[in-house]
Amino acid sequence: MRMNLLMTKLLTVVLLSLIFALPLQAGSLPDFTVLAEQNAASVVNISTRQNSNKQQMRQFNMPEFNDIPEGGPLGDLMRKFFGEHGFQMPEENPQKRSLGSGFITSDDGYILTNYHVVDGADQIIVRMNDRREFVADVIGKDERSDIALIKIDAEGLPAVKIGDSKNLKVGEWVLAIGSPFGFDHSVTAGIVSAKGRNLPSENYVPFIQTDVAINPGNSGGPLFSLDGEVVGINSQIYSRSGGFMGLSFAIPIEMAMDVADQLKARGRVSRGWLGVLIQDMNTDLAESFGLDRPRGALVARVLPNSPSESAGLQVGDVILEFNGTKIHTSSELPPLVGRSNVDEPAKVKILRNGKERTVKVNIGELPPEDAVQLAGTHPPKVSENRLGMMVSEVNEQIRKKYQLSSRRGVVVESVTGQAAREAGIQQGDIILSMNNIGVEDVPQFNKLVSELPADKTVALLVHRNTGPIFLALRVPEG
């Protein structure tokens, strides 16, 4: 009996060893050959030419001189001037070329690419898979989404099949075709690493993150699903070396097509706008606002004459849902608002003073320039408090520079204690509210501070050079 048991165990070990020793079957991995063959003709190489003379002349605020006669007195004078002052003489036929990719979206010559591929170009040259070349016209471009729509004069072109990135799953295989470093129609593959990724410089694009090898020249090229549908436009990478490091980002195709349709129809893009400045919630802030966990978008400022001001949104409101979509992080809100129809109402669920309520906001159109002017001029310090900071009054000059609606708040002159330092309070901050109670002046601020319960977390709203922000401060004992 014991012998039979030993033989059984030995046979099991031998069988397992044989199984793991077998080579990985090719059928267990996707075959990209058909997908690449079917779509290669729909992907184009894009090169641009820019007159560098214009750039040099603009750099020195000089007029542009065209067609300077070679060997003439003006040419000699220009060469002498540039040479004696250490500048390089502008070339006679300067052309700056940049390389990117694009893909055909319709058989009559419309092509999608990135804004940064064609921005500033004097001429755009599209090279097809069969080596034909066309000069393209810009139909429209949108910097916020990094999308450009161009067109070539051709018919019967092979167009890609447009898909939907919403159906993508994390871990799914995807394929990119482009021209990295000018190597036309290179194919690389990888998986979807994450969805809805928001980058600091791109508030309105929920990027698809992949580990597909993307390098300079891939920009504007398509990202394909295994079904052969375009699900994104390869836009940028995260890299410390300038080359691929496993972090690539693609614009969702449904957003790109919406932008393209608007550019084709009217040459510009319209986006929804709430008119609030928001920030993310952390554990301490969530506790101070009565949330069980960090979630939502915290309103740090309501801009004047904005849809949010008209709807009654307030600083300190936490936006939990937008038109029925839950907001887990603040970065999820701008793309939702941006895709909303202008002049149509939206339901916004907020948390205010510990209670949830729904507010209707009539969505406005995002202005061309959405910036808040901030400054930091401070009068002499006047008071110190138990939170560990020296504060002073807000004068009229500060009020105007910070665009404050009234002379409320106190200015942090210096940070002297541990509690303020750990909260991230900085010199020059203007404290506008504490636990959703507006700060009027130094005496009232000190009174609020004296009434704070020890070892509790409170939320401070401050203005600083980077914009309004809530900070969570734990009140020290004593």
Residues with catalytic function = 116, 146, 219
Closest C-alpha to 446, from 415, 416, 419, 410: 410
Query: What does the radius of gyration of the chain's CA atoms come to, in whole angstroms?
Result: 29
Question: Which of 244, 245, 219 is closest to 232 using CA atoms?
Answer: 219
Using alpha carbons, list the distances in angstroms from residue 403 to 26, 277, 299, 408, 459: 64, 14, 17, 11, 22
How far is 217 from 155, CA to CA, in rounded Å?
A: 26
Is residue 119 helix, strand or coil? coil
Count of alpha carbons within 13 angstroms of residue 361, beta-carbon side = 32
- b/e sequence 204-230, b meaning 16+ C-beta within 10 Å: bbbbbbbbbbbbbbbbbbbbbbeeebb
Q: Which two tokens stand for residue 69?
A: 């006669």
Q: Which residue has the tokens 């709807």?
A: 311
What are the CA-CA distances from residue 297 to residues 14, 303, 405, 460 (Å)? 58, 16, 23, 16
- Give the CA angle between residues 152, 158, 161 to the nearest 5°: 110
Query: The tokens of 127 are what?
Result: 């090279």
The Cα–Cα gap between 259 and 254 comes to 9
- Cα–Cα distance between 168 and 149 in angstroms, integer? 24
- Contact between 132 and 157 under an 8 Å Cβ cutoff? The reply is no
